[in-house]
Amino acid sequence: MGDGVVVIERSLAVATHGRYIVAAPSRAGSSPLLVGFHGYAESADTQLERLRAIPGAERWIVVSAQGLNRFYHGRSQDVVASWMTRQDRELAIADNVAFVAALVDAVAREWAVAPALVFAGFSQGVAMAFRAACSSARRVSGVIALGGDVPPELDRNALGRVPAALIGRGERDEWYSSAMCDTDAARLRDARVDVCSLALEAGHEWTSDFSQAAGAFLGRVWS
């Protein structure tokens, strides 16, 4: 740098704790598993509310994962999170995927899980839903995605591990455009994924209409 000092950036892997919330049926017997991912500057609590509002979700073990990067929302004391930034992106992806894999295993050890697994994401959480599905050691039944794009690093073979997907966007959504949604649908169909694409009379938001569509999707993959 001209002053005789060399500045070197390094990364170090350390253990951390990931937060998740579970809403499980009180009835006896096994239940299918629905795992959700919130958007930027949201919490696991917010996504859990969305998932529990899906018709038929009471039959599922509903899990909401929280991003490992937590922070306070603005000047409030509300704790929110994000999944990653552009800094050390690949390392963050690896950490997040490992967190979700451990989460699914932990839930399966504590509850009786039926052979159906669906990942559901909103906004920034959509990428996590697809990454989790494509890397899952367990058989995946489908992905529910609203307001976010399919990660660019997932190729045709990776996406082909997802048998079915519901993808949606609000017609007034400035973050996830119609062109992006069309491109994602084409990528998924090229990977032989059974895709249902839905346009909502909404902005960048999870609506009751989308909850209804998600309920129908869950009914198709687990009856």
Q: What structural domains does the chain harbor?
A: 20-221 (3.40.50.1820)
pTM listed for this prediction: 0.95
Q: In Å, how far are 1, 2, 75 from 7, measured between CA atoms?
A: 8, 11, 34
**In the chain, what percentage of residues exceed pLDDT 90?**
93
Distance CA 167, CA 185 (A): 8
Per residue in 162-175, pLDDT (tens digit) is 999 999 999 999 99
Per residue in 39-93, pLDDT (tens digit) is 999 999 999 999 999 999 999 999 999 999 999 998 888 999 999 999 999 999 9
Question: How close are the terminal C-alpha atoms of the chain, in Å?
Answer: 64
Please, are residues 194 and 162 in contact by the beta-carbon 8 Å criterion? no
Mean pLDDT of 97-120: 97
